[in-house]
Amino acid sequence: MPHYAFIDESGTMDHQDVMTVAAIVFEGEHSIVKLHDHVMRDLNPRYAQLQKQLKKDRKGSKLPRLHFTDMTNEHRATVGKRLANAKVSVFAASYWYETPSMSHEARFGIYTELVKLSIRKAFEMHKELEVGVAKQGGWQGYKRRFLMELKQIPGDFTKNGDYRKGEFYLLSAAKAGIQIADFYVGAVRDHHRGLTGAHDYIKHQVVCCETYRMPIKAKEGCNSNVSPLPNVLCLLCRLFPITGGLANTATRRAKAYDTRFVSPS
């Protein structure tokens, strides 16, 4: 039976220090929605009532969603405690920005490679995956080529005699699995930036968390056995894993959480 993976990103703008992508792998399809409902009820005991009313009024799109950036530390702790007991595995990859500015095409290229890295790591543990990736802006324009690249990953394993099977989709941010992935990727990215609160609850679920930086020019005398991140920028030839401590300890204040957890808008 396949496992189910949901992928989201955080920090795709070059002024945000670090870009992180995380794939969250669940054992069962039904466990995803169930876990999401538990989380939402922890945040708001009236969530089930609110959900029923909005669906009755055909306003399901107004249901509150998990969004890590908009949570207070208290909300993050509530969600983290619930997710800490979930049977999930997290495969993450991050990239530290080291250039003053970067084009959208360059950033999307790096994002694509981070997605592929996280999926490849997940396939090292699971033979069959159904993978849903959160839609980015303008997804209609990149969908076909993007999914074709992802479909090559299980094929590469199989060509090397290690059978893998994968199905790939782009999913709305409203999907329960994507909302949960949003929390995990936010927690991992905050950990890179020295903000460990949410990450402390879920760190035991993080199977892999690879961190990279890309210099403008290859450094002389550097280790030639580093993991490559090909086809991102022709001028930036290779990613170098970061070793040692955190490269940045910037902090930021969380916004007030969505008021729709209290009452429908």
Spatial distance between the Cα atoms of 141 and 164, rounded to a whole number of angstroms: 28
What is the phi/psi pair of residue 162, to 5°?
-120, 95
| pLDDT one digit per residue (tens) for the chain, 265 residues | 899 999 999 998 877 889 999 999 999 888 999 999 999 999 999 888 888 888 888 777 778 889 999 999 999 999 999 999 999 999 999 998 877 678 888 889 999 999 999 999 999 999 999 999 999 999 999 999 999 999 999 999 999 999 999 999 999 999 999 999 999 999 999 999 898 899 999 999 999 998 887 543 333 333 323 344 433 332 232 343 443 333 322 222 222 223 233 323 3
Assign residue 82 the CATH number of its domain.
3.30.420.10
Q: How many domains does the chain have?
A: 1
* Residue length of the chain: 265
Strand 240-241 relative to strand 128-134: parallel, antiparallel, unpaired?
Answer: unpaired
**What are 86's two structure tokens?**
């979930």
pTM, rounded to two decimals = 0.81
**Residue 221 belongs to what domain range?**
3-261
User: Which residue in 238, 235, 233, 194 sits closest to 219, CA to CA?
Assistant: 238
Percent of residues in the chain assigned helix, strand, coil, to nearest 5: 45, 20, 35
DSSP string, 81-150: HHHTTS-EEEEEEEEE--SS---HHHHHHHHHHHHHHHHHHHHHH-SEEEEEEEPPTTHHHHHHHHHHHH
Side by side, the strands of the sheet bearing 206-213 are: 165-171, 128-134, 3-10, 18-26, 88-96, 206-213, 240-241
